[in-house]
Structure 1
């Protein structure tokens, strides 16, 4: 979904943003591999690798301790997932106000209206139902990307080849980095994915080609769309489409896609929160939200709907889509995708690593800390300024 903001990243970062899309893809591919490597230990008897851990949390427990390790990763995952849900609501508001700019309904009101269609998701009880919604989300994603790329190619005669900057705007470029990092964050899902592969030996091959494909498409998409709309590029690229009817059709399709994208992170966040708080005493402080026959209790349904309402309210209070995405990417994205995988790798595999691998892990940790600190500071400052000067929502 967040690919619609990558042309805005090129506006802020120029060719350096395109280079970052490729470089960060390489780093995230590397950290994904070493994170999965941390799931295994070498059997001293047989000399074979044995899978002794099954999740990101299990690795964190080994490195940070059974209590604080699980808490640290769970908190980061919950923040990442809930903020993703919030961003889907925010982008829906941006898209609707872009479709009806002269209407009587403002952005925040559109977010509340879209939120009404999200409330029934509180009844979701299985991943099977989520997967059906995600399938249609994927179909709409392919359709929308084809439409936008096709439109840009038709405008090739007006492309601004000289508009892409070679200089770095240090005030805005870190926000672009946060957006790009956020678009590649997948580490929390990789241990489960690798564990479910029929042939686990193909995991590295799969990770290599998926990141190559992602880097190629994202960099080309951001570059081509920026060449088309140049310095007028908006935070959500579809708002740049000139024909009101065409823009409205594409934006409405994107709204449908955003609504269909919402269930997966929402469902995952609710599962994490349920494991942390609602497994019943004495495991957790609250009783289970399920009856004996696996039906939701009334107060459990109210809690799940409350999570949806929380994301809607957060979207209403912090509605600047691209800046918020940069802020989140700079914080949780760098921790989950850069710093922790390398730290875990050094902690668990240090004795069997070559000095070049140790140096590269330390370099990635340094980049993660640098991107995180600068990105959080700049994105936070941009959010504050946006509210103080009253930027349009």
Structure 2
């Protein structure tokens, strides 16, 4: 719900903004996130395991996929900015959450739908990350005594590590070190992939063919790339934790541009070296050795470090709705423990959980990251802001891309399950 404005021009903990965006607070509590902290949060959330799929996305769509990366980055930055702008659509107040924005635009039903999409999407991401971490750890310790413990043991161990982090953290600024380490591990992994790929180029006698574009596969390639930029569900909580919210737009744009540059490096090297023979993840195409093992360990660390940051958006809203304040430690621990336990139990009990969640991701991600922010923005600002024909055309393009990701992403996920039926 909106926070009332205090006499000195502040809300209880935030500043308010005009229709031009958030303004800096006159006085904010100490210990909130800086722009640099927020930059690391955004990079850590966005640049996840999707990096390893990008060379394969270029294999599907051709070199034009580099342009798709730029388009997806522009869309992600745009929807992230307008989502936060919607928080300030009513002068003098700030909405707190993604669900508040949906309710302001479409009423109580809009809130229910948006809340369900957001929470299912984020919890699905966390569940997938925990499963992937457990499987990766099992692969890393294969051949040792620890390797005999099985994937389920390592999935549970990964979940325990995530649980410890979310119980200790209260808000986004409490997990900034996780974001820093997560970002650094990702950059190290990228450096290894690029270095090994370039090094392998010199030793390969035959270079597999590449293509400029494949119109038939273009939608699939674009959908895959757009999903690699999904992270907007966390943006209201990240912006709320900033010491200077007026820096949000610039911080988001810089972080998204940085992620796009990293994506282009990995995609171009992977596809340029291995061409239409490149596999997904790209690790499978690299020459085996210690470096590849190290890179796999780094991506495992990244997904574990990203989980607590992703969960802040779920817990932040749930705790506000249940009136669980920062000092209600027991209630907060119980809620967070129950949530992580439910996600972990689902991951352990459902066979091939990592194949089921992409269906949820295709549905929730496309709607929550692309379609809903644009719909809310147009609904809330059409009476305050004169939309140009170009702006309307851009909004239509974003929604079209989102709906395309919904249809194609869901079809891909179902086809993947059909190729390897769940037993």
Q: TM-score, normalised to structure 1's length? A: 0.78
Distance 1:302 1:210 in 2: 31
- Distance change >3 Å, CA 92–CA 189, structure 1 → 2: closer
Q: Is the 8 A contact 1:99 1:248 kept in 2?
A: yes
Residues 90-125 of structure 1, C-alpha deviations (whole Å, 9 max, x = no match):
433554576578899999942542322422543414
The answer to whether residue 270 in structure 2 is matched with residue 225 in structure 1 is yes
The answer to whether residue 86 in structure 2 is matched with residue 53 in structure 1 is no
Offset at residue 291 of structure 1 (A): 12
- Identify unmatched segments of 5+ residues in structure 2: 1-47
Residues 285-309 of structure 1, C-alpha deviations (whole Å, 9 max, x = no match):
xxx7x99862359965762452242
Tell me the residue number matched to 2:376. Answer: 344
Offset at residue 137 of structure 1 (A): 2.2
Offset at residue 41 of structure 1 (A): 4.1
- Identify unmatched segments of 5+ residues in structure 1: 44-49, 281-287
Q: Give the 5 Å matches for 1:1-393.
A: 1-2=48-49, 3-41=51-89, 50-65=92-107, 67-92=108-133, 95-96=136-137, 109-123=150-164, 124-127=167-170, 130-157=175-202, 158=204, 160=207, 162-164=209-211, 166-170=213-217, 174-273=219-318, 279=322, 294-295=329-330, 303-313=338-348, 316-320=351-355, 325=358, 327-351=359-383, 352-387=386-421
Count residues in correspondence. Answer: 367
Distance 1:132 1:203 in 2: 20
Offset at residue 347 of structure 1 (A): 0.8
Distance 2:188 2:211 in 1: 27
Q: Is the 8 A contact 1:85 1:266 kept in 2?
A: yes
- Distance change >3 Å, CA 133–CA 316, structure 1 → 2: farther
Q: TM-score, normalised to structure 2's length? A: 0.73
SS of corresponding position for 2:73: helix
Distance 1:149 1:230 in 2: 14
Distance 2:210 2:350 in 1: 33
- Distance change >3 Å, CA 318–CA 151, structure 1 → 2: same
Distance 1:174 1:97 in 2: 35
Q: Is the 8 A contact 2:87 2:101 kept in 1?
A: yes
Distance 1:301 1:204 in 2: 30
Distance 1:316 1:129 in 2: 34
- Distance change >3 Å, CA 292–CA 119, structure 1 → 2: same
Q: Is the 8 A contact 1:78 1:273 kept in 2?
A: no
Residues 8-62 of structure 1, C-alpha deviations (whole Å, 9 max, x = no match):
222222224332211111112222222233233476xxxxxx5543432221111
Distance 1:297 1:206 in 2: 30
Offset at residue 362 of structure 1 (A): 2.5
Residues 244-297 of structure 1, C-alpha deviations (whole Å, 9 max, x = no match):
333223223332333233332245434545556xx38xxxxxxx7x99862359
Distance 1:39 1:301 in 2: 26
Offset at residue 178 of structure 1 (A): 3.6
Tell me the residue number matched to 1:47. Answer: none
Cα RMSD of the aligned pairs, angstroms, is 3.6
- Distance change >3 Å, CA 90–CA 117, structure 1 → 2: closer
Distance 2:243 2:287 in 1: 47
Distance 1:177 1:302 in 2: 37
Distance 1:153 1:122 in 2: 39
Offset at residue 218 of structure 1 (A): 0.8
SS of corresponding position for 1:15: coil
Distance 1:298 1:262 in 2: 16
Distance 1:316 1:361 in 2: 39
Offset at residue 383 of structure 1 (A): 2.1
